Structure 1
């Protein structure tokens, strides 16, 4: 136990020292909890490495998977808790901003950008760090209890893009799989994290979308937005179900998330 604690402290110190030496701001998604996921070994899984598994997941070659392979828990935990995860998020959000700067935007107040919430604008990493980084099957009761705390930390690179889009006159729509019963806590959490304004916050009505997939739900809500006269300039999510389907937007951007897959 003492050795694990020492390794954890050394890793935190190394991350902080590296960030300071490079001139970058020191950053933690949340206070590191390295009781699991501390090792960085790239384990072999059915003839491929965990890093190759993560790549195949991100580019949607491995689909409809239910949990992270047990062999990859340490690898995924390590990836999620070091600067590499933020760097990958930064690359996506940077490209989104560089692209939108080239797009002619009509000044009629109808331009919107859609953001998902979980693992896109807010991080559920504190929850998943205590639940095997996606190795365990999803437990809706435990996860809803986490959401109700309203303390999900911000994903900083997405917040930067959010602010830049507002400066360009693009309105923000949050479209999330959270249910309408979680509206108040979601509003409070978003504002606490720095998302101070938006055009619409759309949460799922379980009655209206009973038996529907996330892809069907999000596509239907985007179609509604277009029928209301909105122009979907861009769309950012961590799941392929966030960015596929009708009315996906002029361009879509997927931020990394190797911890879970939603159809």
Structure 2
């Protein structure tokens, strides 16, 4: 009887040790997977930070969508506070520059602001399209614009008001189509506080099919041809800031969600 009891104890002990070792092995495997995921996330975040820097420096060009592995990075950047902080810093630099300028009494000192994702924001639209990871859909984007719900970028709205108070003539220049989007754009801008600009310029049939660089260059040339001096030019796309008649200084606002050539 004693021998049988000892055997049972040994078997129970062996079974317990087996369960313990098996559990430890599972925990170790789980920890390895967790460390691997953390390593992958760190590598992705490092890559995506470099990718976003390349975009803002105009070294990464002609991209169609945000890399899928950068979805979380761009989401966090756009909604976690860093985007707004970057906007505020850049606008502070613009304001400091504007106050260094001595305006002429002829009221021909001008400033150019882009509209989409400069004056007003399409962030709500892109939140529903994975922050630029989804391919651009012109019909869906137009439907969004037609709602007239684009909120103002607070820093740029304050910049707009400051420039007006300083005496600059502010031109709003956009690639939106004048025939189909003119009224809703005017209403949206006015509802968000952009009132008192010198002129809102939208794309007419004359410029249909032209690149943003060519179209906006032609408009700036017209403005200068009317005698205006363009002291500053602000946009979220490099195509806002390239070409001819750029103005004395250009300022690039951050936008890692889409690229317009």
Shorter-chain TM-score tier: 0.7 to 0.9
Is the alpha carbon distance of 1:249 and 1:127 closer, same or farther for their aligned partners in structure 2, counting shifts above 3 Å? same
Q: Residue 206 of structure 2: SS of its match in structure 1?
A: coil
Alignment partner, residue 76 of structure 1: 74
Q: Residue 251 of structure 2: SS of its match in structure 1?
A: strand
Task: Map 1:1-263; keep pairs closer than 5 Å.
Answer: 44=44, 49-180=47-178, 181-205=180-204, 207-263=205-261
Q: Residue 62 of structure 2: SS of its match in structure 1?
A: coil
- Check the 8 A contact 1:122/1:155 in 2, yes or no: yes
Aligned-pair distance for 1:137? 1.2
Aligned-pair distance for 1:211? 2.8
What stretches of structure 1 of length at least 5 have no aligned partner? 1-40
Q: Residue 137 of structure 1: SS of its match in structure 2?
A: coil
Which 4+ residue blocks in structure 1 deviate beyond 6 angstroms? none
Is the alpha carbon distance of 1:155 and 1:53 closer, same or farther for their aligned partners in structure 2, counting shifts above 3 Å? same
CA distance in 2, matches of 1:118, 1:42: 32
Write the deviation string for residues 146-187 of structure 1: whole angstroms up to 9, x where unpaired.
000001011001111111111110011000011102111111
Alignment coverage as a number of residue pairs: 220
Is the alpha carbon distance of 1:78 and 1:43 closer, same or farther for their aligned partners in structure 2, counting shifts above 3 Å? farther
Aligned-pair distance for 1:42? 5.4
TM-score (structure 2 length as normaliser):
0.82
- Check the 8 A contact 1:177/1:203 in 2, yes or no: yes
- Check the 8 A contact 1:238/1:254 in 2, yes or no: yes
Give the greater-gyration-radius structure (CA).
2
What stretches of structure 2 of length at least 5 have no aligned partner? 1-40
Is the alpha carbon distance of 1:42 and 1:173 closer, same or farther for their aligned partners in structure 2, counting shifts above 3 Å? farther
